[in-house]
A and B are shown apart, each in its own frame.
Chain A
Amino acid sequence: MIAATGPHIDVEALSPLLALTGGGLVVLLVGLLRPRVVREVLVPLLALASLAAALGLAIWQWDADEEIIAGALRVDTLALAFTAFVIVAAAITVLLSWRAVAPREAAHGEYYAMLLVSAAGMSVLVQAQNLVSLFIGFELLSVPLYVLCASEMRRSSSLEAGLKYLIIGSVGSATLLYGLALIYGATGRTDFAAIADALNSVGGPVSDPLFLTGLALSVVGLAFKVSVAPFHQWTPDAYEGAPTPVTAFMATATKVAALGVIIRFFDVALINAQPDWAPALAALATITIVVGNVGAIGQTSVKRLLAWSSVAQAGYMLAGIVVGTQHGIEAVAFYLAAYLVMNMAAFAVVVARARETGLGDAIEALEGIGQSKPLLAWPMTIAMLGLAGIPGTAGFIGKFFLIDGAVDGDYAWLGIVIVVGSAVSLVYYLKVVAAMWMRPAPRSVPVLAGGAVDDPPADAPAGPRAAGGEVTLVAVGCAAGPVVFGVLPGPLFDIARDAAAAMSHLF
């Protein structure tokens, strides 16, 4: 008879998660208070504080490598690094939301609480090492995002984005759940390590149709969240319709979390079935790179363009996971960090220009800002060049090592697909750069200083107004990242290497 002892709860290892959820509760409650200054200033500040606390706790726990809560979650450097990325993305989102329309319409308390809870869900997801915790992390990250997408309630495209994301996201979640259930059915285990053992056993279920079906369905479910083609169709609409700060959060943090769980799920639980899933993932990565890059070329909305670009970028990062080596994971971690800051810089500029011009996220809003707004034009330029993988930026170094990882892991052809994809991507990234530097500002743009607004479009409720210093700060700060890490990649390398070191069973 085994004695029933309560599991040891390691509060220290759990502390970043506690800070996020606790912060969410506090923000929700404080948001109920009436005074305007409390809602518009104190609530975001509290959100920032709890994010800072979570980040600090994650760094404090950096050397941890343990299972907590009876093996439901695993706190290791991979989980902590990805949690830290998510927290940084959430903090930047708070800054971008400071003067945005969305929190005012959805009520500040709820908006920021939703953001924190979603970040907590992402944290659970990257720590999950059990099929059940994987799925609940998945849900915890998704449900708040559906609402955040729709939080500009007076704008029909925001509501439409939320609804579409909800319906298609639910299909994705259902597919994932079905897949996880089948994997459990085939292996009889929910624990990642135990699944790996079951797959490794003699006559194991590696080539069992039940297991393979479960595998395929989970690939589909996870592919949704990372926007891997052909499961990406929601991405452009949701990114375009959602409030821009939320889009920025979805484009960066969701990708971090989903790739994090893919790394753990495929490279821990399913590593013994790698010959089965690697070709499928490689094929998906190829399709994604082609579709994303080609799709982006014709776009005229910057948010839509960035949505397609994020599809292509997901394809690049998938390549690092396909090979199933530590080297590949290092490259993914490095690239994710670079991708995060580059996208944030780009979205910050979109936020600023949408506020200043009333042209929304159309590419025309960027025309001519090379002269008039160098503090916005340079970050956008750096972000675009970085995403295109131009040398001198962290984007280049990250891409170089993704390709190197692919070549190293006997997927040289996938490396070549990445290279060709990034060459094609120049066409649309440079389109944005050219709009900023090589076009005159259109006459009709109502410029803030002295310019009168004739007829602001219905989608821009606030009309032209100051972009806000915090948005410029985000743009400049995030653009400094790719340059600094492009020239001195050392510190980021160390983080990436630490993260990959958690996967010590890999070659």
Chain B
Amino acid sequence: MSASAIAAVAVAAVAFVATWAAWAAGGFAVDVPWAPAWDLRLSLELDGLGLLYALLAAGVGVLVFAYASAYVPRHLAHEGRPRREEARLHGAMALFLVSMLGLVLARDLVLLFVFWDLTAIASWLLIGFDRANRSARLSALMALLVTTITAVLLLVAILVLRAEYGTTQIDELIAVARPGWAVALAGALIAAAALAKSAQAPLHFWLPRAMAAPTPVSAYLHSAAMVAAGVFLVSRAHPLLALEPALLDGLLAIGLLSIAVGGLLALWATDLKRLLAYSTVSQYGYVVVMLGVGGAAGAAGACLYVLAHALAKSALFMTAGAVTEATGRRELPRLGGLARRMPLLAAGSGAAVATLAALPLTLGFFKDELFFHAAAERGTWLAVAAVASAALTLAYLGRFWGGVFLGRSDAEVRPVPRRLVWPVVALGTLVVAGGIAPGPFAALAEDGAAVTAGGPAPVDVAYHLDGRTENVMALAAWLAGALLLVARPRLQGALSALARAGEAVGPERVYTASLAGLNALSNRIHDVEVRDLRARIAAVLVPASALIALGVVLTPTGGTYAVGPVELEDLPLVLVLAVGALAALATTRPRRHLRLALALSAVGFSLAVVYALLGGADIALVAVLVETLFALLFVGVFSLIPARELRREARRRSTGRTRARNLVIAATSGVVTTLVAWGAFSRPIPDDPAAERYLALADDAHGKDVVTVILADFRGLDTLVEITVVLVAAIAVATLLHGRFRA
């Protein structure tokens, strides 16, 4: 075993023992302020529900990590990768374990969310471990996107609850929450996030894809940890969800759908790991159904079910890995007859299959008893559905075990390391022990169920040799399951059709289509990122005009646009303005650069005359100065550009579409500007006390005119900074020219 593997196993073992010891010592709680300003707390507490999931994550972790220590070096050797990459897998596994422990201990929803996303990140690293494999990368991304995008729903739910009740502490929320829209909305969002994490239909499609991960990853994440996190959250938040009966009905429906979809696809699948993945979808469907039934019976059933399922399912995943390692095959039809060659593995996985199929003398028998009990309590229709589900489960599990270990095949069997077998045997032994002496398991489940149910939830585990309903249902299920197993070859066509229909119109299709759509949209934006400067300035003017037009439309028009009298003495002003307007129109015509510059100058000069006529002699002077400078600059720049370039530019004709676009932009900007200017002139000028004061103070400041005094004294800082800006610009120009000539 490599050092990293030993470290990972040690982490899991320590976590297991520590959790156990903490519980035996009467529990454990941490509650420290995290961000006091926003009332966030780091609060962790070990209760019955946390204990169950923590022990599962750590205990199964010990066995799976030990299995991985033998599996991963062989896996890397097959792929021709260096052995040191092993450490990455063990590291990510340990990270996952720690996040999972944090998740089940968190008593604050925000903290829970943090760990929730950390498990997603760790799972992304783990599923994408075979990084040379494109499908592994895509599957990792799919698992991550589906679980984190739905995690967003959890975040929204947290914010809704926080806005409504002012806290994110789970216990406080449960204490103060009352039925209402906030609880209904938040509950629905929490349930959606949780069900996606538990791979419930219709968001189940990521789980079979995630089988691209190395087998130990599947054995851990997709049996005892990652997918368990979803039902854990529903169990944790169950007292909130139970406030709205409709939410529980929704859980019931989704659970039944998942049982059916997962079960039928598991009956159809031929790849070992995919079959197990579909079976996980189906089995967690049971748990969701029981949580949907609710009450003490539902809670008790859910907890025991999770326990039995996690133990058995990880054993089966490890079996699949060992079988593939021994034979090099992973397709059910190409396998068979391994019972004689690998008897220990056959026995261990046989016990696991038996427990999942709820045969007597296994822990799983009781999980189905409780399931039937809860279903029968709810109503006859659910009892019938429960029997059908159990029959389906028995059929696909029988097919899995029989297909691998019975019959015959031509597969060559290579010896496998013992560490690929004994974790399976250990788990098999454990579930059989649970079938004979279920007491400790029941106690564990009972403590967990008490949290979910919000009160005592007895887990009644004992064999009753009588004709009670549960026993009758179990017998019916076995019988129907055996019939289904025998009849399966005839159903192959129908099952394939179902699988094909799922691929054609199923949720995975929606996922790929929306990703492709996003990509296409992004590429379009990339194309629209026009490199044409004029289009960009248009892209500024048009939204700006729209924004302003919105403001203009929203204002009351009464009195906003006044028309004043035109006196005879205004005639020069009108004339000059008309000249300016004509000059502005003229700028649209010339094709030669110099004429264009002169037309622009004409607009500026006529505006300068307008200032002069209106009494702003100083402004008029500045305007004339600026206009003259710019006219000279234009001429200077044109003289520097080769005449050939200028002529070529001038000959370029714009297309009709460009012209139309320019016309629309110009017209919009013009109309909006006119409206604004009109509105501005129609209103009285607000008095500016500062102006009066400046005038009064001008003499005191020893200035002959107020403008000088304002520039030099009253607003000296502004002038100073403005001078700095001009200086910086000068330095900038000098730098650029210097660099240009040096280069």
Residues of A at the B interface (CB closer than 8 Å) are: 1-4, 6, 21, 28, 69-70, 72-73, 105-107, 110, 113-114, 117, 124, 132-133, 136-137, 139-140, 143-144, 146-147, 150-151, 153-154, 164, 167-168, 171-172, 175, 182, 185-190, 198, 205, 207-210, 212-213, 215-217, 219-220, 224, 230-231, 233-234, 236-237, 276, 280, 291, 294-299, 330, 385, 390-392, 396-397, 400-401, 403-404, 407-408, 412, 415-416, 419-420, 422-424, 426-427, 430, 434, 437-440, 489-490, 493-494, 496-497
CA of A402 to CA of B702, assembled, Å: 53
Which of B65-73, B528-536, B582-590 lies at the interface?
B528-536
Q: Which residue of A lies closest to B530 (CB)?
A: A233
| B184 CB to nearest A CB, Å | 16
Q: Is the CB of A188 within 8 A of B680?
A: no
| B561 CB to nearest A CB, Å | 9
- Inter-chain contacts of A21 with B (CB < 8 A): 724
| B538 CB to nearest A CB, Å | 10
Given contacts A295-B525, A400-B110, A404-B159, contact A423 B152 (CB under 8 A): yes
Given contacts A72-B717, A189-B688, A298-B526, contact A216 B551 (CB under 8 A): yes
Task: Give which listed residue, B124, B163, B552, B728, contacts A212 with CB less than 8 A.
Answer: B552
Interface centre among A172, A296, A391, A437 (most CB of B within 10 A): A391
Q: Which of B678-701 contact A (CB under 8 A)?
A: 679-680, 683, 685-688, 690, 693, 696-697, 700-701
- Inter-chain contacts of A493 with B (CB < 8 A): 35-38
Q: Is the CB of A236 within 8 A of B529?
A: yes
CA of A396 to CA of B116, assembled, Å: 13
Given contacts A106-B735, A391-B117, contact A415 B159 (CB under 8 A): yes
Q: Which residue of B lies closest to A431 (CB)?
A: B141
- Inter-chain contacts of A213 with B (CB < 8 A): 548, 551-552, 676, 679
CB-based closest 7 A-B pairs: A188-B686, A212-B551, A4-B700, A391-B114, A438-B131, A298-B522, A297-B522
Over the window 231-266 of chain B, the binary record of Cβ atoms lying under 8 Å from chain A Cβ atoms (1 yes, 0 no) is 000000000000000000000000000000000000
A-B contact count (CB 8 A): 255
Given contacts A210-B683, A493-B37, contact A105 B721 (CB under 8 A): no
CA of A391 to CA of B117, assembled, Å: 6
Q: Which residue of B lies closest to A163 (CB)?
A: B533
CA of A447 to CA of B116, assembled, Å: 39
CA of A236 to CA of B149, assembled, Å: 27
Say yes or no: is B554 at the interface (Cβ < 8 Å to chain A): yes
Q: Is the CB of A416 within 8 A of B156?
A: yes
Say yes or no: is B148 at the interface (Cβ < 8 Å to chain A): yes
Say yes or no: is B637 at the interface (Cβ < 8 Å to chain A): no
Interface centre among B160, B162, B533, B547 (most CB of A within 10 A): B547
Q: Is the CB of B537 within 8 A of A171?
A: yes
- Inter-chain contacts of B159 with A (CB < 8 A): 403-404, 407, 412, 415
Task: Give which listed residue, B128, B685, B718, contacts A132 with CB less than 8 A.
Answer: B718
Task: Give which listed residue, A140, A209, A438, contacts B137 with CB less than 8 A.
Answer: A438
Say yes or no: is B539 at the interface (Cβ < 8 Å to chain A): yes
Q: Which residue of A lies closest to B738 (CB)?
A: A107
- Inter-chain contacts of B686 with A (CB < 8 A): 185-188, 198, 205
Which of B428-436, B513-521, B626-634 lies at the interface?
B513-521
Q: Is the CB of B740 within 8 A of A153?
A: yes
Q: Is the CB of A171 within 8 A of B540?
A: yes
- Inter-chain contacts of B714 with A (CB < 8 A): 70
CA of A190 to CA of B694, assembled, Å: 14
CA of A140 to CA of B554, assembled, Å: 35
CA of A387 to CA of B323, assembled, Å: 43
Given contacts A167-B533, A295-B526, A427-B518, contact A216 B544 (CB under 8 A): yes
- Inter-chain contacts of A105 with B (CB < 8 A): 739, 743
| A385 CB to nearest B CB, Å | 7
Over the window 147-159 of chain B, the binary record of Cβ atoms lying under 8 Å from chain A Cβ atoms (1 yes, 0 no) is 0110010011001
- Inter-chain contacts of A391 with B (CB < 8 A): 113-118
